[in-house]
Amino acid sequence: MLVKRRNGPHKVASPRQRVLRRGLVLVAGMALAGCGALNPSFVNLLDPDGSQGFQTVNNAPGHLVVSVINNAEIDERLLDYLETLTTFSEAEERALRPRVRMRLRVTFVDGSFQTIEFITGSPNLIDPAFSAQAFPDLNQNDLSNAVVLCDVASVQMEPGTTVEVFVPVELTGFELVEISGEGGQVTLEFQPRQRTPPQFLALQTDDVDEDGNVVLQRNIGARDVPGAVIGLSCGSVVAIVINGVLSVPFLTGVSDAPSFDIGDDATVATIGGRYEFVATVQ
């Protein structure tokens, strides 16, 4: 995981910083409207030169903020398919984000820890025929920001867990089988073998060989996994930024709905899309 630190104000923001600020503007707006307060460390991500006057309180030395920023997008073909089943307004379509769930462990210097489940993204991104079935998963309370007490030694993925993305459509798996016809002729034909309803899918890391070469591309590159963030101080803001695209396969010439060949390992491995995770510490 790439971890960026800044030790002083910068007047020119990098592309990643500009993306992060856009993701945090909503939180800033809530605070300015009377729903909360912003400390300088948090504000510096949005307004490094102080020109906007976002700061409302001093740094709180006894706390640390953990934030998940979901900048992932929806594949165009998947979105087109969903729009044949339901209707999104232009504003809703622009705001759509993949539904992502991840559990982070905050470990304190005394060895104790706290596990926090973050859920971000659009709960209405689903085939309407399965909305009732998926209700428990999709309508958990959204949580993209959390405040914890110091002193914090590290923030990392909860051991034994992985990031999950909600696949909003039913997937049909086909198998290529031999069909005997008249006169003993044998042809190959795809037959449906399995159906997977909309559900959360655990994202997998690429398979690599001993030399680190990718032998099977999956959902996350080996260098793009959410690794541990260490060396933290009170008053800091740890932001985990999610970039990527939610996608599903469509088996050409077989079905207009999301589908795949169960014997095609390369396609099966990429179901759910491709993502990267970047940790920024302020």
pLDDT digits (tens, 9 = 90+) for 191-238: 999 999 999 999 999 999 999 899 999 999 989 998 899 989 999 999
pLDDT digits (tens, 9 = 90+) for 104-135: 999 999 999 999 999 999 988 888 888 777 77
Nearest to 81 by CA among 163, 201, 175, 198: 198
Look at residue 263 and give its three-state secondary structure: coil
What separation in angstroms does the CA of 205 have from each of 119, 202, 222, 264, 275?
Answer: 20, 10, 6, 18, 10
Measure the CA angle with vertex 227, ends 223 and 229; round to 5°.
Answer: 130
pLDDT digits (tens, 9 = 90+) for 52-108: 555 555 555 589 999 999 999 999 999 999 999 888 888 989 999 999 999 999 999
Nearest to 39 by CA among 228, 235, 187, 219: 235
The answer on pLDDT for 3 being more than 70 is no
Nearest to 251 by CA among 190, 167, 198, 177: 190
Asked if 46 and 56 count as a contact pair (C-beta separation under 8 A), the reply is no
Cα separation, 76 vs 35, in Å, equals 36
pTM: 0.75
The answer on pLDDT for 27 being more than 90 is no
Cα separation, 74 vs 99, in Å, equals 10
Percent of the chain having pLDDT more than 70? 78
Determine the residue type at 123: P
At 32, the pLDDT band (50, 70, 90 cuts) reads: very low
